[in-house]
Amino acid sequence: MLAIYRKYRPKTLGELLGQEHVVEILKNGAAQGKFAHAYLFYGPKGSGKTTAARLLAKLANCETRQNDKTFREKGEPCNKCSACSQIDTGQALDVVEIDAASNRGIDEIRNLKEGIKLSPSFLHYKIFIIDEIHMLTRDAFNALLKTLEEPPAHAILIMATTEYEKIPATISSRAQRFHFQKLSLIKILEKLNRVIKEEKIKISPEALELIASLAEGSLRDAESLLDQIASLDQDINIKDVENIAGKIGHKKTSAMAEYLIKNNLPGALNYLNEIDRGGSNLVELNKDLIHYLRRALTLKMNPQMEELYKKELIKDELTALKNHSVLINDQKIISIIKSLIRAYGEMRYSPFPIAPLEVAIIENLKS
């Protein structure tokens, strides 16, 4: 049985969520029959870089697109021809995927240099996809540079990375560069809602929202977590997600933040211990608290930040955040955030993670 993230992987550029700027340029290039010899896709994990690389491989080799001028103007693969089918099923010999994390040496790049010289066996273009290219050694990058300087006409090299700053300028300057953005919470929820409908998964809206939030902009992570939780084979609620992921939902984070904002020390300590007894991950709770309070602070300092947060938060979360931003004392919250950040560093390595968090709360809330 296919994993959800593989089963629902986009088959066309139009299905690639949250990357409209990338999609538009790639579709226009395909409609005009213009393909670069090298591409560099960079951005956070789970944003669609490898998926886009495979879609580009289909676009360059789609037989329908090559033979039908009217269809070519759509800038999409047909997903029906032999080339599209082979690439979809991973059987295309002329599409080579290399994981630079485990094949990072000069020998692997030398093999690529020799392989790229050979004409395609079946397809129009020979495609090489190098994932996590920032992991290559310096010698490997130098070896790759020669190929980028004199690429054969029948080959397209697509590089993907989560750490653009580690790519030598000599490499990045010889490729078309595309920045992939983190997906908004709303976009992830849209996709998850389609998935649960297709898969007939019974899950509460609050639980699905927590899954989307936990993914932190990575659609793949959200789909993988949904897949894991769906294996419970029962009606899924927010407690199930909290138990499996080891994190707590927005409502608990918001409630804890309110105790801090209102300077309610007894309430904060009681609630913290209640959460601890429930078995939740306190390190993750602290991390969520830091993010919540800094959003409330920035929203108070700059109300225009609401437009940005609309992309990151659901309606109920944003409403609670706006209500709290009105109540906060600037200097008090800055002090609390600093203490929580310090406590976060201590909690990660402490056998008693509750202690640094309790101390941080007491220091800031005591009269």
Q: CA 123, CA 35: separation in Å to the nearest integer? A: 15
The token duo for 219 is 């659609």
Average pLDDT on 88-93 reads 90
pLDDT of residue 238: 84
Q: CA 34, CA 290: separation in Å to the nearest integer? A: 47
- Its sign, for the CA torsion 132, 133, 134, 139, is positive
CB atoms within 10 A of CB 121: 9
pLDDT of residue 367: 60
pLDDT of residue 127: 94
Q: CA 337, CA 361: separation in Å to the nearest integer? A: 10
**What's the residue count for the chain?**
367
pLDDT of residue 256: 95
CB atoms within 10 A of CB 366: 8
pLDDT of residue 1: 64
Going by pLDDT thresholds of 50, 70 and 90, the confidence category of residue 273 is very high
Average pLDDT on 335-343 reads 96
Starting at the edge strand found earlier in the chain, the sheet holding 38-42 runs 95-99, 126-131, 155-161, 38-42, 176-179
Domains with residue ranges and CATH for the chain: 4-179 (3.40.50.300), 185-245 (1.10.8.60), 250-365 (1.20.272.10)
What residues have CB less than 8 Å from 276, skipping those under 6 apart? 282, 354
What tens digit of pLDDT does each residue of 213-266 get? 888 888 999 999 999 888 877 788 888 887 787 677 788 899 999 999 999 999
CB atoms within 10 A of CB 223: 24
- Read off the pTM: 0.80
Q: CA 248, CA 267: separation in Å to the nearest integer? A: 18
**Is residue 12 within 8 Å of residue 76, measured between CB atoms?**
yes
Helix, strand or coil, per DSSP, at residue 96: strand
Q: CA 195, CA 298: separation in Å to the nearest integer? A: 34
- Its sign, for the CA torsion 108, 149, 178, 12, is negative
- Its sign, for the CA torsion 289, 291, 292, 298, is positive
How would DSSP label each residue in 230-276? HTT-S-B-HHHHHHHHT---HHHHHHHHHHHHTT-HHHHHHHHHHHH
Instruction: State what percent of residues in the chain have pLDDT above 70.
Output: 99
CB atoms within 10 A of CB 241: 27
User: What number of helices (H) and strands (E) belong to the chain?
Assistant: 20, 5
**Is residue 23 within 8 Å of residue 31, measured between CB atoms?**
no
What tens digit of pLDDT does each residue of 296-313 get? 999 999 999 998 888 888
Buried b or exposed e, range 322-340, using 16+ CB within 10 angstroms: eebbeebeeeebeebbebb
Q: Quote the mean pLDDT of the chain.
A: 90
pLDDT above 90 for 345: yes
pLDDT of residue 213: 85
Question: Which residue did the predictor score with more confidence, 278 or 127?
Answer: 127
Question: Which residue did the predictor score with more confidence, 339 or 313?
Answer: 339
Q: CA 127, CA 259: separation in Å to the nearest integer? A: 56
The token duo for 313 is 């938060």
